[in-house]
Amino acid sequence: MWIVMMAAMMLPSLAPMLWRYRRAVGLTGETRLGLLTALVGVGYFFVWAVLGLATFPLGAVLAAVAMQQPALARAVPLAVGALVLMAGALQLTRWKARRLACCRQAPGCARLLPADAGTAWRYGLRLGLHCSYCCAGLTAILLVTGIMNLWAMAFVATAITAERLAPAGERVARAIGAVIVGAGVVLLVQAAGLG
The pLDDT, as a whole number, for residue 112 is 62
The pLDDT, as a whole number, for residue 38 is 94
Residue-wise pLDDT tens digits, 126-137:
999 989 999 999
The pLDDT, as a whole number, for residue 195 is 60
Tell me if 39 sits within 8 A of 120, measured CB to CB.
Answer: yes
Q: What mean pLDDT do residues 154-181 have? A: 92
Q: Which residues contact 88 (CB under 8 A, 6 or more apart)?
A: 137, 177, 178, 179, 180, 181, 182, 183, 184
Give the model's confidence band at 13: pLDDT under 50 very low, under 70 low, under 90 confident, else very high: confident
Tell me if 9 sits within 8 A of 157, measured CB to CB.
Answer: yes
Asked whether the predicted pLDDT for residue 76 surpasses 50, the reply is: yes
Separation of alpha carbons 49 and 154, rounded Å = 20
* Structure letter (DSSP) for residue 111: S
Asked whether the predicted pLDDT for residue 141 surpasses 50, the reply is: yes
**Domains of the chain, residue spans:** 2-191
* CA distances in angstroms from 158 to 9, 12, 99, listed in the order given: 8, 9, 18
The pLDDT, as a whole number, for residue 162 is 93
Separation of alpha carbons 72 and 148, rounded Å = 23
Separation of alpha carbons 162 and 39, rounded Å = 25
CA 171, chain centre distance (Å): 18
- pTM of the shown model: 0.82
Query: What angle is formed at CA 23 by the lines to CA 20 and CA 28, rounded to 5 degrees?
Result: 135
Q: Residue 33 CB: number of other CB atoms within 10 A?
A: 15
Separation of alpha carbons 45 and 118, rounded Å = 16
Size of the chain, expressed as the number of residues it contains: 195
3-state secondary structure of 146: coil
Tell me the pLDDT of the chain averaged across its residues: 86
